[in-house]
Structure 1
Amino acid sequence: MLSPVGDNPGMTLSTPPAGAPRTLGVEEEVILLEPETLSPVDVADEVIAELTHLDTSMSFITHEYLRAQVEFSSPVLTDADAADRVVREFRRAMGQAAERRGLIAASVGTPPGPGRSGTAAGERYVRFDTELGAMRPDHQIQGLHVHVAIRSRDEGVAVMRALRPWLAPLIALSANSPRMAGVDTGFASWRTIVGRRFTTASVPPIFADATDYDRRVRALVGMGTTFDTASLAWMMRLAERWPTVELRVFDAQLTADETVALALLARALVETAAAGELPHAEAASHAELVDASVWHAARHGLEDGLVDPATGSQAPAWVVVERMLGAARPALVAAGDAERVDAYVEHVRAVGNGAHRQREALADGAAALGRLLRATFTA
């Protein structure tokens, strides 16, 4: 979301050599909740102070915009096993720290219970808070961000251009924010809708090349919440410190398996896009259709149709998801990630995305949802 120093310093990805799997990095945002009400509890600084003294391979743990939030940034990752290990190490330590305080560490796109978290300390956050105005009470969101190495910024711009029509199916698959402040929003990903309110929001525009990207981004600095180039809130952007494209489209995920699988899928899609092998119809790239598709996916998740980027027309959600996975399969197989991503997709097909599971648990009361959040965080 909004790092205190712009891009997180805990990750240093390098340009991948030709033919090698692209390196990647994972950033997870977690919120601390009171078990009975599922309301945010502002003790993140205390938890972070404890976690930074742990002897683990965690790269960087810090606070985020909210006093109830903790953000984890992985070290540079080359394979699924490494990603799985560091994400689980963080979640295990974070879960234990929360339990010692009688709290739940939850990986959800929005806090499901009533109450709101305060703004974390720091001039950058205070400035952001002030700029939000009446939007401030709704800005209680957690995301999963995935960095994937690129070989040049021009390649990164081309990747972003190719991925634009595929953001909606990624939202539908990963939606995990149906509730906000104790109310069912009616959306599968309310975090997506909240994020559309920023100065730079939702789907990035089409850029001709890196020079065009840099020129147009510089013109945005100083406008609203875009304090600098690290404040861009698009669903994907080029990182400033590292040679990566950063996918910011995902809600925070219930389980480590989902976090890792989506990171691997993101890497495969970047590889496929860079090779020019992501199918798309010209109509599917039109700004108005891409933007409407994102809204529709955030509203309905996998429970309605999606725009098929290959045809530009609507199709059943799972047809579009399967087309996306089919396009990414060669890259998944080449990196050895196909089995893990397939297992994730079959799990979502069987039990639903996070939004569906949250609603299903809540049918038995807030305590049942709390048990789901606690169990899935460290599962």
Structure 2
Amino acid sequence: MLSFGIEEEFVLLDAARLRPVNDAPECRDGLSKLGFGAALVHQEFFQSQLEFASPVYTELSAAAEGLLEFRWALKNVAATQHVVAAGVGTPYDVGPMPVLTPGERYEQVAANVRALAWEHQINGLHVHVGVPGRAAGVVALNGVRRWLPVLLALSANSPLWGGHDTGYASWRAIHSRRWTTAGCPPPFTDDRDYDRRIRALSGIGATSDPGTIAWYARLSERQPTLEFRVADAQLDSGVTVLLAALCRALVATALHSGTSRNQPAPELLDAALWHAARDGLSRSLVHPVTGLLVPASDAVQALLEETRHQLLASGDLAEVETLLRDTTTRGSGAERQRQALATGGLPGLVLLLESELTRTPAGLHRSDQKFRSRDAHA
């Protein structure tokens, strides 16, 4: 069974205006006292952001409990700072120039992207899936390309920016298109081709090193993993677990089937990603196999059918079906944010962000009381 790891980014917000606040250093200190040290909690581009880098998992249940435990700790630490910790792709509003996290790397990135830097107040979910070597990683990368727009639609959770509804389900995805490399990776003949083309990009625009390649899926340079970077940060951990399970199953399916000769045209995938960013699950999506516009539910069903065999093999099918049903019934993160704002204004949106952060995933039957009590007595 393939292993996987999860990186969730969170933003800290002023509860009155839902603007980013620069309290990440204080929150990281508080989390460290609760046992979430530097190996698990990373700094991010701005001091209003932080990231949880999970341990390596093989079981979805362990991932669900680990994510929920961290989220309870983060919620309680944020409360001591009188801020809201939110899992959103973009904050509701942005204020003056944000404070960059000190460090040579972030300073170099900011210098390279120039005026884009201050607007890079976006938060993502990254899923790493273990692969048995770089050559196998390229086979898997070629196999998962066509499914990235569906994953984006499932994860869409950034409809708000600058205090307004953007009309997009994932405004974060639109932001991301402005970087030197963005969107869907091209197909590669093998791992040598991949490495050669990565080297050719070095130094061009904002691509200072392989870590600044902004494709929605790529091979990790530090770990033997294929990294999915397509998803927005998530309101609740249930969708995170769902996406992790689907990403793992897609990699396993691609490794089992090998690279298809019928690779989708890059312009079609690029347009499909833009379309998914605009509409999410609310209308149509490009079918990953036929290339035709279909109801979003049909594209999601195609993803489930593509991965069904591997989900059965890993024992994840029933849990994935439960999580997927919960997600489609309740609506995407983008839809829930819009509804909360429309019915309750900013207080309603604050309530949504706080309640969803620690919502127990559908199908996880163990009580979250242990997470509440551990944090309360730390």
TM-score (norm: length of structure 2):
0.91
Equivalent position to 2:291, from 300, 305, 312: 312
1:57-136 correspondence to structure 2 within 5 Å: 59-115=39-95, 117-136=98-117
SS in 2 for 1:345: helix
Q: Is the 8 A contact 2:140 2:258 kept in 1?
A: no
1:278-297 correspondence to structure 2 within 5 Å: 282=262, 285-297=264-276
Residue number in structure 1 paired with 2:214: 233
Q: Deviations over 1:322-345 (max 9, x none)?
A: 011011111112112112211221
Equivalent position to 1:163, from 133, 144, 156: 144
Q: Deviations over 1:197-247 (max 9, x none)?
A: 111111111111100000110111122221111221110110112111000
Q: Is the 8 A contact 2:183 2:215 kept in 1?
A: yes
Task: Tell me the distance in 2 between the aligned counterparts of 1:290 and 1:378.
Answer: 34
Runs of 4+ in 1 over 6 A off after TM superposition: none
Which residue identity does 1:100 align to in structure 2?
A: T
Q: Is the 8 A contact 2:239 2:327 kept in 1?
A: no
Which residue identity does 2:26 align to in structure 1?
A: E
Task: Tell me the distance in 2 between the aligned counterparts of 1:350 and 1:192.
Answer: 24
Q: Is the 8 A contact 1:178 1:187 kept in 2?
A: yes
SS in 1 for 2:51: strand
Q: How many residue pairs were aligned?
A: 357
Equivalent position to 1:365, from 345, 352, 356: 345
Give the drift of 1:58: 8.8
Which residue identity does 1:61 align to in structure 2?
A: V
Mapped pair 1:298 → 2:277:
yes
1:1-379 correspondence to structure 2 within 5 Å: 21-55=1-35, 59-115=39-95, 117-276=98-257, 282=262, 285-363=264-342, 364-379=344-359
Which stretch of structure 1 is more off in the superposition, 360-369 or 225-234? 225-234
Task: Tell me the distance in 2 between the aligned counterparts of 1:154 and 1:140.
Answer: 34
Residue number in structure 2 paired with 1:18: none
Q: Is the 8 A contact 2:139 2:258 kept in 1?
A: no
Q: Deviations over 1:328-375 (max 9, x none)?
A: 111112112112211221112212110000000000201100100000
Residue number in structure 1 paired with 2:362: none
Residue number in structure 2 paired with 1:3: none
SS in 2 for 1:242: coil
Give the drift of 1:75: 1.0
Which stretch of structure 1 is more off in the superposition, 292-301 or 228-237? 228-237
Residue number in structure 2 paired with 1:11: none
Q: Is the 8 A contact 2:185 2:216 kept in 1?
A: yes
Identity of aligned residues (%): 45
TM-score (norm: length of structure 1):
0.91
Is there any run of 5+ residues in structure 2 with no aligned partner, and where? 360-378
Q: Is the 8 A contact 1:28 1:144 kept in 2?
A: yes
Q: Deviations over 1:130-168 (max 9, x none)?
A: 222222232111000000011121111111112111111
SS in 2 for 1:27: strand
Which residue identity does 1:189 align to in structure 2?
A: S
Q: Is the 8 A contact 1:26 1:146 kept in 2?
A: yes
Which residue identity does 1:87 align to in structure 2?
A: L
Residue number in structure 1 paired with 2:365: none
SS in 1 for 2:101: coil
Q: Is the 8 A contact 1:88 1:378 kept in 2?
A: yes
Task: Tell me the distance in 2 between the aligned counterparts of 1:351 and 1:259.
Answer: 15
Task: Tell me the distance in 1 between the aligned counterparts of 2:272 and 2:51.
Answer: 29
SS in 2 for 1:22: coil
Which residue identity does 2:301 align to in structure 1?
A: E
Which residue identity does 2:123 align to in structure 1?
A: Q
SS in 1 for 2:6: strand
Task: Tell me the distance in 1 between the aligned counterparts of 2:353 and 2:249.
Answer: 28
Is there any run of 5+ residues in structure 1 with no aligned partner, and where? 1-20
Which stretch of structure 1 is more off in the superposition, 368-377 or 266-275? 266-275
Which residue identity does 1:123 align to in structure 2?
A: E
SS in 2 for 1:52: helix
